[in-house]
A and B are shown apart, each in its own frame.
Chain A
């Protein structure tokens, strides 16, 4: 079945450690996105990529990094520079232009 897969669903890390969240899609979508969701706030864009080997910062890119080496994959690394990393992270993909975004199941990251 076509879809977008995030793993893991829950992740715990110690403060100061980098952590990488996985996102894979087999929908043949060109565009992929990473969002952060905090209680009472809308989805905030971290990074997005419209094509392989290219990506742009979103509104809250500081403390995060991404890569887009394959069309299907868009991993997000939460670095130790991110001051408040505990959040619900959502990956999404979509075709170019005006189309709906398809979301993965999300990863809830807790840093202790």
Chain B
């Protein structure tokens, strides 16, 4: 079956670094997406990885290992506005997105 796993909740301190992990099992693989979702709002796109390695985009970076079925989202210099849920999603062989349940990130001053 198809499955995406990520931690339910994480807590970090303002100014620090946090890594949110995602493991996946899908029928085929056409890339992995990370989205940010603030409470009651729509998800917004953060990153896309299809090749192994690290993609850096400002304070956010995303890593992919296809052989391990593993990705992480790295957030640096955390700000209070980064408090949100972070959704991991894989695109399968039919170009359909399979979604994880999301990781709620709580930032403390």
Contact = CB atoms under 8 A, between A and B. Distances in A.
A100 B31 CA distance: 10
Contacts of A90: 42-43
B72 interface: no
Contacts, number: 46
Interface residues of B, number: 24
B90 to A, nearest CB: 11
Measured as residues with beta carbon below 8 angstroms from the partner, the interface class of chain A is 20 to 34
B40 A106 contact: yes
B4 interface: yes
Contacts of B30: 98
B96 A45 contact: yes
B27 interface: no
Contact of B41 (A42, A44, A100, A105): A105
B95 A101 contact: no
A44 B2 CA distance: 13
Interface string A85-102: 000101000001110111
Interface in B75-106: 87, 89, 91, 95-102
Interface of A: 35, 40-45, 48, 88, 90, 96-98, 100-106, 108
Given A100-B33, A108-B40, 17 more contacts: A40-B8, A42-B98, A42-B101, A43-B87, A43-B97, A45-B97, A90-B42, A90-B43, A98-B30, A98-B31, A98-B50, A98-B95, A101-B45, A102-B45, A103-B42, A104-B42, A106-B40
